[in-house]
Chain A
Amino acid sequence: QQQVKQSPQSLIVQKGGISIINCAYENTAFDYFPWYQQFPGKGPALLIAIRPDVSEKKEGRFTISFNKSAKQFSLHIMDSQPGDSATYFCAARKETSGSRLTFGEGTQLTVNP
């Protein structure tokens, strides 16, 4: 059972463009929503995270938008750069689950020069 669904599976963006990746979740008990970034040959690393008490969080060029009523959240990468080319995973966690995360399927982002 996939509790976090992510789209698109792959995304190609031109340098300077906006990359948008979407996720939807089912379990309303989730209370923490991180995004992880993974480069080839490396493990995923935390990029940015949000809690459902806010609708948006911004860190540099990366922004999470959160819609609690729709049970959706998205990652926006502004001014996308070739160095942003990586696989991005959304995830969700319940307070009662310790640090256990449920991951989306992943999105392979390619930013062309």
Chain B
Amino acid sequence: DAGVIQSPRHEVTEMGQEVTLRCKPISGHNSLFWYRQTMMRGLELLIYFNNNVPIDDSGMPEDRFSAKMPNASFSTLKIQPSEPRDSAVYFCASSLAMGVRTLHFGNGTRLTVT
């Protein structure tokens, strides 16, 4: 199994630009999570989906952030417009919604907004 695949691994962009982060969950997993990691705030849950449906987006910091899951094998996190304070490592994670619900993380996207 290839695990959770995120792209790009690194993204450097200028303030005001649109940023799109991508995630391919583990095949068969029906829960998907987007986390943000910073030194100051640790791992923050931004949003999670069950069966492609957003369940809780209360962690999304502002309307500048949006996430979609058009099908079971793909999700995007978009920031528009980006700001320097959005600089962080963004992780996607997936799991089964029932039974053994171990959360499997991707290797993250390091976003730098200048």
Contact = CB atoms under 8 A, between A and B. Distances in A.
Contact of B105 (A34, A45, A102, A105): A45
B48 to A, nearest CB: 6
B69 interface: no
B97 interface: yes
A28 B96 CA distance: 24
Given A99-B31, A99-B101, A101-B103, A43 B4 contact: yes
- Interface size class, chain A: 10 to 19
B42 A104 contact: yes
Contact of A103 (B42, B97, B106): B42
A33 to B, nearest CB: 13
Contacts of A89: 42-43
A109 to B, nearest CB: 15
B112 interface: no
Contacts of B82: none
Contact of B107 (A42, A98, A106): A42
A98 B105 contact: no
Interface residues of B, number: 24
Contact of B43 (A34, A93, A98, A106): A106
Contacts of A42: 107-108
Contact of B93 (A41, A43, A106): A43
B13 interface: no
Given A43-B91, A103-B42, A103-B43, A98 B108 contact: no
Interface string A53-95: 0000000000000000000000000000000000001000100
Contacts of B108: 41-43
Given A43-B4, A44-B91, A102-B45, 11 more contacts: A41-B107, A43-B91, A43-B108, A44-B43, A46-B102, A98-B98, A99-B97, A99-B103, A100-B48, A101-B45, A105-B42
Interface of B: 4, 31, 33, 42-43, 45, 48, 50, 55-56, 91, 93, 95-98, 101-108
Interface of A: 34, 41-46, 89, 93, 98-106
